[in-house]
Structure formats: C-alpha cells, structure tokens
C-alpha cells in the first residue's frame, strides 16, 4: 500500500493554490476541514512514531505494564555486540542494494523498450501492474510453490532440461535462499519501477532527440546525453524510494522463509519483529527501528535534495 504515496508531495506541492489574500481565514477554514482526520492521525500515527523512537532508549518489554526505565544507549550497545544484528544488517544491505539495482537496470531496459513502437506493449504494461497489486502474502505463497524442491515447476524445468540433476531446495538451502528471495523481490518491484520510468520517458520532449539526430548523434549518445539527464529526477526518486521500501520490507520474506534457513534471509525488519513479538524485547526492537531510521534518513536526504533541486 505504500507504493508511490511518497511521490505525492512532488506532484501536489508543485503548484501552490492561487488567491493569495485571506491567509488567516484560510488557515481557520483548513483547521475545520482537517479536524476529523487530525485526532486519529495524531493518536495513531504521529504519537506512536515519536513514542516508538523514544522506546529504543528504554528497557520496555511486552506483557504487563511493567515500568520501563530510560537506559540511554544500552540497547544500542547490546545490538553492537549481537552477531545476529550485524548479520541482519549485512543481509538487509545485500537484499536492498541487489533488489533495487537489479530491478532498476532491468526496468530501465524494459521501459526503453516499451517506449518504442514494439508489439505487445499494451500486454506488457497491463501485466506490469498485477504483481504490484497482488497481496504480498499471495506472491510469497506462489513462489514457495514454484520453487518447491519436489513438486515445483522450476525444479521440474531445470531437471527435464538437464540443467541440474538434483532438485534444488532454493528457499531451504543456505547458499541459495538469499539469491532466491532477491529474485522474488525483483519480481514484485520491477513492474512498478518500469511503469514509473516509462512515464518519465514519455515526458521527454521529442524535439531534443530530433535535434540530436540532426547533429549526427547515435542511439547511444542520445541515451547518454539526453535520456539519462532528462530522467535524472525520476531515477533518483524511484531508486531512493525503492531502497527505503526494500529496506523496510517484511511480509514477503516473512512468508517465503521467515528469515531462515539458519537466519540466512533475516532482514532487519524480521529481526526487529522477532525481538518484539517472539522474545518480547520491545525496547530492543525499537532500538533496531531507530538504527533503521538513521539509515533511511540517508536515503531520504538523497531523495529530498534531488527534489528540492528540481523544484528550484
């Protein structure tokens, strides 16, 4: 459900409403209009977020309302000495970067392709949106069935074509679990990235290419000197947001592998979920969330800087 919502302010904030007069009156009117939304948002979004950030500095535990104590950076110190934390951090980065980069490269290629007068364009575009709208749990189930070592069609195809002679337990094997999960991540994310890039491509002024063509620039030079620079804003926006979404993802891998085998696919969110809801360490889980926030702020800074620059 998060997809694209973050692109929102870009399109909406661009054009301030006219009629510059009567600002105080408009403020009052706005408060009146915003009122029904304000209470639930403050209570269930803003307040929990602030509390959640603060929780990372306490020893809060699940269960009874036991008093929690402020323990400063205690949780963070513990995290630093926890091998599983470092593992999940490393796995999270491999997952995030691989999925984002691979899906971007594939999506860019595809978007360029779908922007030409090729056949099946319509089919490809329509298909593109289905994985995005499917329930993530269904996507995970589907891939578990597809990759099943005994009855899944992927192993069946590999064996009948003699590419392998033993069935591969993609999601259950230490060496293949993370790559397999990454492929599924690409499968889910690539269509949306493609559609976004395609929209960006269609926004480029055709006359730029005509002029370049007259000047004798080939396809490669046109791509390098026109397409890429013109797409830059879209590229930075979609990749930084993809990074954030992938870094925060939970449901897909939770159902695919639950972090296994042997913690080989334990993404940061899975680690934090386990800390909170399996072991009851609310404070520790929140501290993990805080660490994730710091990383996300870096991605976000990149995105916002790009946006501000493009608006200026």
Partner 1 sequence: MRTRPTTRVAQYVAVLAYLIFLGFPLVWLISASLKSPREFANLNPTFLPQSPTFSNFTDALEEQGLVRSMLNSLQISVATTVLVLIVSLPVAYGLARLRSRLRPITNGWILVSQVFPVILIVIPLFVILRQLHLTNTLPGVVIVYMVWSMPFALWMLQGYVAAVPRELEEAASVDGASRLRTIVSIVMPLLRPGLIATAMFTFISAWNEFFFALVLLQDPELKTLPLVLARFVGAEGQVQFGPLAAASVLATVPSLVFFAFLQRRLTSGLLSGAVKG
Contacts with partner 1 by CB under 8 A: the residue count is 104
Q: Considering the rule CB under 8 A, would residue 84 count as an interface residue with partner 1?
A: no
Q: Which of 75, 56, 192, 53 is nearest to 129 (CA)?
A: 192
**Which segment (95-103, 133-141, 197-205, 230-238) binds partner 1 by CB under 8 A?**
133-141
Q: Which of 10, 7, 185 is nearest to 91 (CA)?
A: 185
DSSP assignment, residue 279? S
- Non-local (6+) Cβ contacts of 12 within 8 A are none
Query: Of residues 260-299, which lie at the interface with partner 1 (CB under 8 A)?
Result: 268-269, 272-273, 276-277, 282, 285-286, 288-290, 292-293, 296, 299
Instruction: Count CA atoms closer than 13 A to 195's CA, side-chain side.
Output: 17
Query: Nearest approach, Cβ of 232 to partner 1 (angstroms)?
Result: 20
Q: Considering the rule CB under 8 A, would residue 191 count as an interface residue with partner 1?
A: yes
Member of 151, 161, 207, 216 binding partner 1 (CB under 8 A): 151
Query: Nearest approach, Cβ of 299 to partner 1 (angstroms)?
Result: 8
In angstroms, the CA 107 to CA 199 distance is 12
CB atoms within 10 A of CB 34: 10
User: What Å distances lie between residue 286 and 52, 82, 176, 182, 253, CA to CA?
Assistant: 6, 15, 30, 26, 20
Query: Of residues 92-111, which lie at the interface with partner 1 (CB under 8 A)?
Result: 106, 109-110
Member of 67, 81, 126, 216 binding partner 1 (CB under 8 A): 126
Q: Which residues pair with 58 in a beta bridge?
A: 70
Q: Considering the rule CB under 8 A, would residue 301 count as an interface residue with partner 1?
A: no
> Is the distance from CB of 176 to CB of 170 less than 8 angstroms?
yes
Query: Of residues 217-256, which lie at the interface with partner 1 (CB under 8 A)?
Result: 241, 244, 247-248, 250-251, 254-255
Q: Considering the rule CB under 8 A, would residue 76 count as an interface residue with partner 1?
A: no
Query: Nearest approach, Cβ of 294 to partner 1 (angstroms)?
Result: 11
> Which two three-digit tokens encode residue 244?
């954030």
> Which two three-digit tokens encode residue 305?
């800087």
Member of 101, 102, 142, 212 binding partner 1 (CB under 8 A): 142
Member of 55, 168, 192, 231 binding partner 1 (CB under 8 A): 55
Q: Considering the rule CB under 8 A, would residue 309 count as an interface residue with partner 1?
A: no
Nearer to partner 1, 39 or 81 (CB): 39
Member of 12, 163, 214, 312 binding partner 1 (CB under 8 A): 12
- Non-local (6+) Cβ contacts of 89 within 8 A are 268, 291
> Which two three-digit tokens encode residue 203?
């926004």
């Amino acid at each position: 459900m998060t997809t694209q919502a973050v692109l929102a302010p870009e399109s909406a904030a661009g054009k301030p409403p006219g009629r510059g007069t009567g600002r105080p009156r408009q403020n009052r009117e706005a408060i009146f209009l915003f009122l029904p939304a304000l209470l639930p948002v403050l209570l269930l979004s803003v307040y929990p977020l602030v509390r959640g950030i603060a929780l990372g500095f306490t020893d809060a535990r699940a269960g009874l309302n036991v008093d929690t104590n402020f323990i400063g950076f205690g949780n963070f110190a513990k995290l630093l000495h926890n091998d599983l934390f470092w593992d999940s951090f490393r796995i999270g980065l491999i997952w995030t970067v691989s999925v984002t980069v691979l899906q971007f490269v594939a999506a860019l290629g595809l978007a360029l392709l779908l922007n030409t007068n090729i056949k099946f364009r319509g089919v490809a575009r329509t298909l593109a949106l289905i994985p995005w709208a499917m329930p993530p749990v269904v996507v995970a189930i589907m891939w578990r069935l597809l990759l099943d070592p005994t009855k899944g069609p992927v192993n069946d195809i590999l064996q009948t074509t003699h590419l392998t002679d033993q069935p591969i337990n993609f999601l259950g094997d230490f060496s293949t679990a993370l790559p397999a999960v990454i492929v599924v991540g690409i499968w889910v994310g690539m269509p949306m990235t493609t559609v976004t890039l395609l929209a960006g491509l269609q926004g480029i002024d055709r006359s730029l290419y005509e002029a370049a063509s007259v000047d004798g620039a080939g396809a490669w030079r046109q791509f390098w000197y026109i397409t890429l620079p013109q797409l830059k804003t879209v590229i930075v926006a979609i990749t930084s947001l993809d990074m954030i979404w992938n870094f925060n993802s939970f449901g897909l891998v939770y159902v695919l592998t639950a972090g296994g085998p042997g913690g080989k696919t334990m993404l940061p969110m899975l680690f934090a979920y386990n800390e909170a809801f399996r072991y009851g360490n609310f404070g520790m889980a929140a501290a993990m969330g805080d660490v994730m926030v710091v990383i996300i702020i870096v991605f976000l800074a990149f995105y916002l800087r790009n946006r501000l620059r493009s608006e200026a």
